[in-house]
Amino acid sequence: MADPKGFLKNGREGATRRPVDERVGDWDEVYPDGIGRALLPIINTQASRCMDCGIPFCHEGCPLGNIIPEWNDLVWRDDWEGAIERLHATNNFPEFTGRLCPAPCETACVLGINQDPVTIKNVEVSIIDKAWESGFVRPQPPEWLSGRTVAVIGSGPAGLAAAQQLTRAGHTVAVFEREDRAGGLLRYGIPEFKMEKKHLDRRLDQMRREGTVFRTGVEAGAPGGKYSGEQLKERYDAVVLATGSTVARDLPVTGRELGGIHQAMDFLPQANRVAVGEPANADGSEQVVATGKNVVIIGGGDTGADCLGTSIRQGAASITQLEIMPEPPESRPTGQPWPTYPMIFRVSSAHEEGGERVYSASTKEFLGDEDGNVRALRIVEVVFEGGTLSEVEGSEREIPAELVLFAMGFTGPEQPGLVEQLGVDLDARGNVARDEGYMTSVPGVFSAGDCGRGQSLIVWAIAEGRAAAAAVDEYLTGSTILPAPIPPSKRPLVV
Ligand SMILES: Cc1cc2nc3c(=O)[nH]c(=O)nc-3n(C[C@H](O)[C@H](O)[C@H](O)COP(=O)(O)OP(=O)(O)OC[C@H]3O[C@@H](n4cnc5c(N)ncnc54)[C@H](O)[C@@H]3O)c2cc1C
Ligand code: SF4
């Protein structure tokens, strides 16, 4: 184990972010020289805080089942090559989770019962950043080919994890992606300041060298296209649907049709393209920008925070983030005990940079100007009583807004097109239904990630991609030694 007295001698410490004034002037990650390097001076000591407790609940908190105490020990001993080997045994892409995961492992850490938990996510990202720098991450092409072919539809973290596992198992894998570049929400949802795309590109390069083929700019199931559901089933021995949860929740109140009201995913991808020097829109249409505008973001989650940080960097005049739920408590409420993932007040890097958060706020109406563009929102304070939402009398007010961004989540996968053509059953929530082996109602067609689970997190998408790959391998060859970290029915540790 790491230092037996480490947790007694050392307190929890994180890396220092770049000063706000500096970082809002560019799109780079918020840590100096990247988080892995920023952490190096402190990370061995932080890893030494791991108690190697008898029953490590962090394993249970992490959907991937990352073997956290083992790599904490190896980092403390300065054995970085051993550490990346252990980490890669359970996680294909620790550079994504180490930057972007909300770290349910840390809220399940046994040290967290009466002290600050181990900085597990920081140890994870240090290991992988150091591994890339040291040349420890190499392509792992298969030693032999099975002669079986797999089409993976969608190149987000679920599709990438499934494709990498299946390629390494010897199958011939093609990943279809309708966008011009691979990565799913890792590329066009998540902004540079949270994860620079060079980390994604480096991993895609490794995958290509291993033999995975990427067909970008190809929408499977597009009308008149070469890859209809029927054609995919005919040409490939198995198909993995990893198309994400892309239907965004709307707010159909009076004034919704006004100009200047957009879904977050009509705003963030354009900004992400511009941030890396590409045109905002391939068709040359004008970019949706926050520059000089009063911006209102409706929705308080990750997507809302990404809109906030992006609007700040674009030079918005003011930014208000509305959340319908009440402000959560600062610390774990008694009803959400350890080791569950609690609903508490969290401050992302974007929240440090500016904007105002307004809780218990519901939008009644969008108000327009004479040109048909939004000029304000009429909002009202709401309370939850007896499970129902009621308005507080006399609390209505207007807030100015020339740009409104919806960040209220996603309701499920798109159904016209591929899903309909394949004829797969949907579950009660409209997601692609699958059995405990990730197979849909159509034999040979599997589903992984948000299209099957519903809107979730990167770590769940990777875990599902890995598990679905094991199921596909078994379907194709009759047996598998690929790991299957979770069944589709596994849920987060929450109450
Ligand atoms: C703005 C935003 C920020 C987020 N931030 C975080 C975060 O910080 N941390 C975190 O853990 N999670 C975050 N999430 C959630 C996380 O990104 C998702 O849970 C995860 O990406 C789901 O992975 P996936 O592979 O299932 O789908 P996706 O990443 O959505 O990828 C699906 C891909 O399939 C492609 N596709 C769809 N249909 C077709 C078709 N017919 N043919 C070809 N290609 C197709 C899509 O273009 C897309 O590229 C965020 C989500 C959003 C929207
Ligand atoms: S992937 Fe997420 S939950 Fe798992 S160890 Fe990393 S930060 Fe923790």
Q: Which domain holds residue 261?
A: 252-408
| Structure token digits, residue 217 | 């700019």
Q: Give domain status of residue 142, yes or no.
A: no
The 10s digit of each residue's pLDDT in 355-364 is 999 999 999 9
Q: Considering all CA atoms of the chain, what is the largest pairwise distance in Å, rounded to the nearest integer?
A: 71
The pLDDT of residue 176 is 98
Ligand 1 mutation target, pool 249, 458, 464, most atoms within 8 A of CB = 458
Domain assignment of residue 483, yes or no: no
Mean pLDDT computed over 139-155: 98
- Tell me, yes or no, whether 49 and 27 share the same domain: yes
CATH code, domain carrying 56: 1.10.1060.10
Whether 208 and 130 map to the same domain: the answer is: no
Ligand 2 pocket check for 64: Cβ under 6 Å: yes
Which residue is closest in CA terms to ligand 1's atom 41?
A: 220
Domain count, the chain: 3
Same domain, 404 and 446: no
Residue 229 predicted with pLDDT over 90: yes
Q: What is the model's pLDDT at position 64?
A: 98
375 and 452 inside one domain? no
What is the number of the ligand closest to the CA of 239? 1
Structure tokens at 168: 């390494």
Q: Which atom of ligand 1 is nearest to the CA of 219?
A: 42
* 217: pLDDT strictly greater than 70: yes
295 is a domain residue: yes
The percentage of residues in the chain with a pLDDT greater than 70, rounded to a whole number, is: 100
Note whether 283 and 374 are same-domain residues.
Answer: yes
Beta bridge partners of 213: 174
- pLDDT tens-digit map of 436-485: 999 999 999 999 999 999 999 999 999 999 999 999 999 999 999 999 99
Residue 356 Cα to ligand 1 midpoint, Å, equals 27
For residues 310 and 360, membership in a common domain is answered with yes
d(CA 184, CA 265): 12
Residue 272 lies in a domain: yes
At residue 52 the predicted structure's pLDDT band, cuts being 50, 70 and 90, is: confident
Query: Cα(375) to centroid of ligand 1, in Å?
Result: 31
β-bridge pairing 261-263 and 247-248: unpaired
pLDDT in tens, 262-310: 999 999 999 999 999 999 999 999 999 999 999 999 998 999 999 999 9
Q: pLDDT-based confidence at 419, cuts 50/70/90? A: very high
Q: Is residue 140 part of a domain?
A: no
Ligand 1, atom 45: nearest CA belongs to which residue? 154
Give the closest residue to 320 by CA, choosing from 341, 290, 346, 340: 290
| CB of 69 sitting under 6 A from ligand 2 | no
Q: In this predicted structure, what is the pLDDT of residue 367?
A: 98
* Protein residue whose Cα sits closest to atom 4 of ligand 2: 62
Task: Indicate if 269 and 389 belong to the same structural domain.
Answer: yes
Quick check: 1 pLDDT over 80?
no
Instruction: Please provide residue 80's backbone torsions phi and psi, each rounded to the nearest 5 degrees.
Output: -70, -30
CA of 240 to the centre of ligand 2 (A): 24
The residue whose CB lies within 8 Å of the most ligand 1 atoms, and thus the one to mutate among 64, 99, 302, is 302
CATH number at residue 345: 3.50.50.60
Ligand 1 atom nearest to CA at 449: 26
Instruction: Specify the pairing of strand 247-248 against strand 410-412.
Output: antiparallel
**Quick one: 424 exposed, middle or buried, by C-beta within 10 A (0-12, 13-18, 19+)?**
buried
Pick the residue whose CA is nearest to atom 6 on ligand 2. 121
Residue finishing a domain among 134, 161, 189 = 134
Is 491 within a domain? no
> 4: CA distance to ligand 1 center in Å?
41
Same domain (yes/no): 164, 119:
no
For residue 495, what pLDDT is reported? 82
Determine the average pLDDT of the residues in 155-184: 98
pLDDT tier at 26, thresholds 50, 70, 90: very high
Tell me if 293 CB under 6 Å of ligand 1: no
In a domain, 47, yes or no: yes
Question: Looking at 103, 134, 165, which one is the last position of a domain?
Answer: 134
Instruction: Kindly give the number of the ligand 1 atom that is closest to the alpha carbon of 176.
Output: 43
Reported as a pLDDT band with limits 50, 70 and 90, residue 387 is confident
| Whole-number pLDDT of residue 385 | 86
Mean per-residue pLDDT, 7-33: 96
The angle subtended at Cα 105 by Cα 99 and Cα 109, nearest 5°, is 130
What was the pLDDT predicted at 386? 83
Answer yes or no: is pLDDT of 2 > 90.
no
Are 125 and 195 in the same domain?
Answer: no
Residue 62 beta carbon below 6 angstroms from any ligand 1 atom: no
Report the alpha-carbon distance of residue 406 to residue 374 in Å, rounded. Answer: 14
Same domain, 12 and 58: yes
**What pLDDT is recorded for position 69?**
96
pLDDT at 3: 82
Give the pLDDT of residue 94. Answer: 98
Q: Assess whether 43 and 98 both reside in one domain.
A: yes
CB contact at 8 A, 338 and 108: yes
Termini Cα distance of the chain: 32
Q: Is the pLDDT of residue 227 over 70?
A: yes
pTM greater than the 0.75 cutoff: yes
Q: Which of 375, 408, 441 is the last residue of a domain?
A: 408
CA of 190 to the centre of ligand 1 (A): 9
With respect to residue 492, please indicate whether it lies within any of the assigned structural domains: no
Q: Is the dihedral of CA 195, 196, 199, 204 positive or negative?
A: positive
CA distance 465 to 485: 10
Atom 27 (ligand 1) nearest CA: 244
CA of 94 to the centre of ligand 2 (A): 8
227 and 96: one domain?
Answer: no
